[in-house]
Amino acid sequence: MSAELDFSPPEVPEPTLLESILRYGLFLGAIFQLICILAIIFPTSKSHEQEETESTDGKTTEPVKKPKGPAPQIRQKPKKESKKKR
């Protein structure tokens, strides 16, 4: 038990450029996912929704019909003559 023990930290190679890019990309992806989840849980403010309802209240409830243009022409291909049997 009198042997000396090596308690020095192990040598760890420095991360390569690709490993650094992957690490920070994963962090950015995680942050983006958290922002998306929070946006679903806590929807936007109600003031935007109130503005929409006020603007629709002033309009009539009748659906607006778009004027129909000329009917599209249907192109019919001429029927092929039956093939002759040999």
Cα 27 to Cα 41: distance, rounded to the nearest angstrom: 21
84's CB contacts (< 8 A; 6+ apart) are none
Q: Inform me whether the pLDDT recorded for 79 exceeds 70.
A: no
Quick check: 7 pLDDT over 80?
yes
How many whole angstroms separate alpha carbon 46 and alpha carbon 1?
73
Q: What is the pLDDT of residues 59-71, one digit of tens each?
A: 555 556 665 666 6
Q: How far apart are CA 46 and CA 54, in angstroms?
A: 12
pLDDT at 34: 97
CB atoms closer than 10 angstroms to residue 36: 10
